[in-house]
Amino acid sequence: MPQAPLAAPDRTSPAAEPAVVARAVGVTRRYAGHTALDSVDFEIREGELLGLLGPNGAGKSTLVNLLTGLRQVTSGRCELFGGDPRRPENRLRIGVTPQETGLPETLRVTEVVDFVAAHYPDPVDRGELLDRFGLTPLARRQTGGLSGGEKRRLAVALAFVGRPRLVFLDEPTTGLDVEARKALWDRVAEFHAGGGTVLLTSHYLEEVEALAERVVVLGRGRVLADDTVAAIRGLVDVHRVSLVAGELPRLPGVVSERREDGRVHLMTTDPDRLVRELVTRGVDFSGLEVRPTSLEEAFLTIAGS
């Protein structure tokens, strides 16, 4: 028999609910002289599945920690359901899978689920939750004996115990194989289809492309882009062509040009065409290298940084 979706709680009065469930307004967060977030404006709207992208160190986890009340802003403000993220009544309506989760090694999987469920007034049935996330065969195992991927699946499942309205999943597929990753996406899609709101962080565009409707890209603590998946895909399709050469003619498709350590670095949306142009025009060059850019390189180039 097909299972009913793992849905968010029914909201019979949508007009009484805020259109924005979480937001950051001019948020800056500094750690010992390092600026993790720099005047960030950001919001999550009710019912959307939002992908938060960026390289390691971009500020994704910091933003999640601020929105979920685990950290305080240096300046600016964060809101969760229109109030302070640190207030229990607001945090009870969210589920979180942090980037790193510590599980008590001597507790069994069922005991961990029961412990988390005890914090909520109407938790999901334990058996249903374990079945949903493929954890039933592991129910009697101690968490200390689980593999890295099995621990990650349990950590993600725990985000859904309290029937949340908003779920934060910070790099949820770490340590998962292809099959487990696909199963997780299916569960997230079911939750979203039932009215749930999701923020999914990753440094891989491919990991949010299949699910997200909107993508925000962070780089060096700033919002570099906020658009649809299709628009973001077009923006990051940039390659670096590096070579040793003298003065270059004007070349098509070049987004930026930089000289460093005797080499010319060209950012382009069409590396094949660029190389053909170099040959056709008889440009004297050597040491040609072509490689994809990172998200950070692509967006900082487009942003003119």
Burial class from Cβ neighbours inside 10 Å (0-12, 13-18, 19+) for residue 224 reads buried
Strand order in the sheet with 285-292: 254-260, 263-268, 239-245, 285-292
Answer with the residue of higher pLDDT: 102 or 248. Answer: 248
Q: What structural domains does the chain harbor?
A: 20-228 (3.40.50.300), 238-303 (3.30.70)
The 10s digit of each residue's pLDDT in 253-264 is 898 899 998 999
Report in angstroms the alpha-carbon separations of 305 from 26, 239, 262, 263.
Answer: 20, 17, 21, 20
| DSSP for residue 144 | G
User: Could you give the 3-state DSSP secondary structure of residue 132?
Assistant: helix
What letter would DSSP give residue 277? H
- With beta carbons less than 8 A apart as the criterion, state whether 201 and 169 touch: yes
How far from 166 is each of 61, 91, 97, CA to CA, in Å?
16, 10, 12
Residue 12's pLDDT is: 46
Reported as a single tens digit per residue, the pLDDT across 115-154 is 999 999 999 999 999 999 999 999 999 999 999 999 999 9
Band the pLDDT of 8: cuts 50, 70, 90.
Answer: low
Return mean pLDDT, the chain: 89
Q: CA-based diameter of the chain, in Å?
A: 73
Q: Quick one: CA dihedral 183, 184, 186, 187, positive or negative?
A: positive
